[in-house]
Amino acid sequence: MLKLLAPVFVLAVAIGWSFPRDLVLPAADPADKTHHYVIEEKPGAQNVGSGSFDAVELERQPDGHFYAEADVGGAPIHLMVDTGASMIALSAADARKLGFDWHASELQHVGRGVNGDVMGKPVQLDRVTVGDLQADNVEAVIIPEGLDVSLLGQSFLSQVENVQIEGDRMTLN
């Protein structure tokens, strides 16, 4: 049996090496659940982008992630781009910065993280802007515990036509 698996493994590695290293990822691929949090989107949520825009270019940081500076309702928020999160996830600090408040009784199961169930409070953001990219009425969730940096998920990214990664550069346009 092992003798049969070895050639299959070698063939798989050879095929993998033959593909280009640059990736083009569709902006709205919620099936990619390899990231830190997978937040469940509420049924019937609608997010509408507006306006024309220029591409936003992000550099890969030393930790391997891409980060974006966003304007959320007039407040600057630092977010890690997470194509596997189905919506924006706000840390407790960022949620407070935006004027949101919550009580433990308002928290509900919103997804699963690497450490198990994720509890949070769903909210709606009137406007999220990253560079010239803008989305209105964006679904988000406050994650009061265990989230050190807010996540820029699909409730915003799905409004972007393309999310492209080439080497250490991510382009949103």
pLDDT reported for residue 114: 80
Asked if residues 165 and 24 have their Cβ atoms less than 8 Å apart, the reply is yes
Rounded to the nearest 10 degrees, how much is the dihedral formed by the CA atoms of 77, 80, 82, 88? -20
Q: Stretch 131-156: mean pLDDT, rounded?
A: 95
Nearest to 25, CA basis, from 66, 70, 69: 66
pLDDT reported for residue 83: 92
Render pLDDT for 55-87 as a digit per residue (tens, 0 to 9).
999 999 999 999 999 999 999 999 999 999 999
Render pLDDT for 21-48 as a digit per residue (tens, 0 to 9).
333 333 334 343 333 333 334 444 333 3
**pTM confidence score:** 0.70
Q: Which domains does the chain have, with CATH numbers?
A: 24-172 (2.40.70.10)
pLDDT reported for residue 47: 35
Q: Please list the residues that pair with 38 across neighbouring strands.
A: 112
Residue 163 has pLDDT above 60, yes or no: yes
Residue 24 burial (C-beta neighbours within 10 Å; 0-12, 13-18, 19+): exposed
Render pLDDT for 96-117 as a digit per residue (tens, 0 to 9).
999 999 999 999 999 887 888 9
